[in-house]
Amino acid sequence: MDDEHRDSNSSTRVLSIDALRGFDMFWIIGGGAVFESFVKIWPNRVTETIHQQLEHVEWAGFHFEDLIFPTFVFLVGAVMPFSISKRLERGQSSLVLHLHVIKRTAALLFLGLLFNELQRFNWAEMRWLGVLQRIALCYFFAALIVIHTRWRTQAIIIAVILLAYWAATMLVPVPWGVGADGITPKYVVGDLTPQRCLSSYIDQKLIPGELYYGYGDNEGLFSTLPAICTALLGALAGCWLRSNRSGSQKTAGLAMAGVACVAVGYLWGLAFPIIKILWTSSYVLFAGGWSLLLLALFYWVIDVLGFKKWAFFFVVIGMNPITIYFLQRFVDFGGIAEFFLSGVAAHADIYAALILPLGALMVRWLLLWFLYRHKIFFKV
Q: How many residues does the chain have?
A: 380
- Whether residue 108 contacts residue 132, with contact meaning beta carbons closer than 8 Å, is answered with yes
- Whether residue 4 contacts residue 86, with contact meaning beta carbons closer than 8 Å, is answered with yes
DSSP H stretches of helix in 79-179: 80-89, 94-115, 131-148, 151-171
- Whether residue 112 contacts residue 270, with contact meaning beta carbons closer than 8 Å, is answered with no
Planar angle of CA 139, 140, 142, nearest 5 degrees: 65
Residue-by-residue pLDDT tens, the chain, 380 positions: 565 566 555 446 789 999 999 999 999 999 999 999 999 899 999 999 999 999 999 999 999 999 999 999 999 999 999 999 999 888 889 899 999 999 999 999 999 999 988 888 888 888 999 999 999 999 999 999 999 999 999 999 999 999 999 999 999 999 877 666 666 778 889 889 998 899 999 999 999 988 888 889 999 999 999 999 999 999 999 999 999 999 999 999 999 999 999 999 999 999 999 999 999 999 999 999 999 999 999 999 999 999 999 999 999 999 999 999 999 989 999 999 999 988 988 888 888 889 999 999 999 999 999 999 999 988 76
Q: What is the DSSP string of 273-342?
A: --BTTTT-HHHHHHHHHHHHHHHHHHIIIIIIS---GGGHHHHHHHTSHHHHHHHTTTS-HHHHHHHHHH
Task: Please report, as a single letter, which amino acid is at residue 5.
Answer: H
CA–CA distance from 242 to each of 6, 257, 342 (Å)? 8, 16, 49
Q: What is the DSSP string of 218-266?
A: TT-STTHHHHHHHHHHHHHHHHHHHSSS-HHHHHHHHHHHHHHHHHHHH
The predicted structure's pLDDT at residue 1? 55
Alpha-carbon gap, residue 123 to 101, rounded angstroms: 28
The predicted structure's pLDDT at residue 306? 93
- Whether residue 231 contacts residue 76, with contact meaning beta carbons closer than 8 Å, is answered with yes
Alpha-carbon gap, residue 276 to 169, rounded angstroms: 14
Alpha-carbon gap, residue 192 to 275, rounded angstroms: 9
